[in-house]
């Protein structure tokens, strides 16, 4: 058993070594500039999200409109994943890019309205203020629909199952199909980083920020973010890859009205509660 754990822990190290040793290969008439922007852009995007997170009582960048910043950043993922597919100048990548845009249409609107719920409840767009406003009750308890839509959005922007059709096995990897070497390493690291960053931002939004017994606030943020990222990956791996043409209808006809209803309930509670 320890041997199995050891090899499981070595997987990321071995993959990193493999990709660092690999010479990146190019495709015919690839749009190298846009392709490189896309492959190297995901990781900085995740870092820009992480600096907004209040670790305990202080964020690296404490911004009065942190929620808007996060939203603006997650829309950047649209451009980057699309360019990743476009830049390679090959069919699988291009179709992967199309698929991502179709999925993004499905998850982005519910995500935007999900972000509104905690902001309305805390009467602030500052992630620190939102975290502090949950001293009585975590928002996840009475905003489950918004939390769900948010989690779906995080899985979508990090191109993870079940919203990973853009990188699906049926497209030979889709937007990842032509990537090799360090370019591939940056993209894969960027996808994991986006998952973690999305989970970390959920902590001040829905999970009470640094609130928790015994341990210091920053450690609680790390623990909650880690647990949520793990849970998202675990749930995702048990779900099939959802095809974009199947996702759009329930996302707009069912999820979007439900999230709006959630916003309405939150607003009603704030006004009359």
Q: Which residues inside 100-159 make contact with other proteins, applying CB under 8 A?
A: none
Q: Do you find a cis peptide bond into 198, omega within 30 degrees of 0?
A: no
Least Å distance, CB 11 to other proteins, is 7
Least Å distance, CB 5 to other proteins, is 13
Q: Which of 246, 261, 264, 269 binds other proteins (CB under 8 A)?
A: 246
Query: Are the C-beta atoms of 43 and 184 separated by less than 8 Å?
Result: no
Helices assigned H by DSSP within the chain: 2-21, 32-50, 66-87, 91-122, 127-132, 139-142, 144-157, 181-206, 217-237, 244-250, 256-272
Q: How far is CA 175 from CA 30, 82, 99, 102, in A?
A: 13, 8, 10, 14
* Residues near 34 by beta carbon (within 8 Å), at least 6 away in sequence: 83, 86, 87
Q: Which of 24, 56, 217, 226 binds other proteins (CB under 8 A)?
A: 24
In angstroms, rounded to a whole number, what is the distance separating the alpha carbons of residues 45 and 198? 11
Instruction: Give the contact letters, 192-211, x = binds to other proteins (CB under 8 A), - = no.
Output: --------------------
Shorter beta-carbon distance to other proteins: residue 6 or 272: 6
For 162, the token pair is 């079940």
For 214, the token pair is 């015994």
Element (H, E) at 58: strand 58-59
For residue 241, state whether it binds other proteins (rule: CB under 8 A). yes
Binding segment for other proteins (CB under 8 A), chosen from 22-30, 48-56, 115-123, 200-208, is 22-30
Instruction: Give the contact letters, 151-170, x = binds to other proteins (CB under 8 A), - = no.
Output: ----------xx-xx--xxx
Least Å distance, CB 78 to other proteins, is 17
For residue 27, state whether it binds other proteins (rule: CB under 8 A). yes
Q: Are strands 58-59 and 54-55 parallel, antiparallel or unpaired?
A: antiparallel
Shorter beta-carbon distance to other proteins: residue 90 or 133: 90
Q: Which of 54, 143, 184, 198 binds other proteins (CB under 8 A)?
A: 184
For residue 249, state whether it binds other proteins (rule: CB under 8 A). no
For residue 255, state whether it binds other proteins (rule: CB under 8 A). no
For residue 6, state whether it binds other proteins (rule: CB under 8 A). no
For 189, the token pair is 């690291």
Shorter beta-carbon distance to other proteins: residue 87 or 210: 87
Give the phi and the psi of residue 36 in degrees, each rounded to 5. -70, -40
Binding residues (CB under 8 A) for other proteins: these are 7, 10-11, 13-15, 17-18, 20-29, 88-92, 94-95, 98-99, 161-162, 164-165, 168-173, 176-181, 184, 237-243, 245-246
């Amino acid at each position: 058993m320890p041997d199995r754990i050891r090899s499981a822990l070595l997987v990321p190290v071995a993959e990193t070594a493999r990709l660092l040793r690999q010479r990146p290969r190019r495709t015919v008439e690839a749009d190298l500039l846009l392709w490189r922007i896309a492959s190297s852009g995901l990781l900085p995007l995740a870092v820009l999200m992480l600096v907004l997170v209040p670790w305990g009582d202080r964020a690296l960048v404490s911004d009065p409109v942190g929620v808007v910043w996060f939203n603006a950043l997650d829309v950047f993922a649209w451009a980057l994943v699309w360019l990743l597919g476009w830049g390679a100048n090959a069919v699988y990548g291009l179709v992967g890019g199309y698929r991502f845009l179709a999925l993004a249409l499905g998850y982005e609107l519910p995500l935007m309205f999900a972000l509104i719920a905690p902001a309305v409840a805390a009467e602030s767009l500052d992630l620190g203020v939102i975290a502090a406003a949950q001293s009585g009750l975590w928002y996840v308890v009475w905003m489950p629909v918004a939390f769900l839509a948010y989690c779906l959005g995080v899985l979508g922007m990090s191109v993870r199952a079940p919203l990973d059709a853009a990188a699906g096995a049926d497209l030979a990897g889709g937007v990842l199909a032509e990537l090799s070497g360090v370019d591939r390493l940056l993209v894969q690291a960027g996808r994991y980083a986006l998952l973690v960053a999305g989970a970390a931002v959920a902590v001040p939004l829905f999970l009470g920020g640094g609130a928790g017994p015994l341990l210091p606030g920053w450690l609680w943020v790390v623990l909650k973010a880690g647990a949520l990222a793990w849970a998202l990956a675990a749930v995702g791996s048990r779900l099939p890859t959802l095809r974009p043409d199947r996702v759009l209808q329930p996302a707009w006809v069912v999820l979007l009205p439900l999230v709006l209803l959630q916003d309405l309930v939150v607003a009603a509670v704030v006004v009359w509660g």
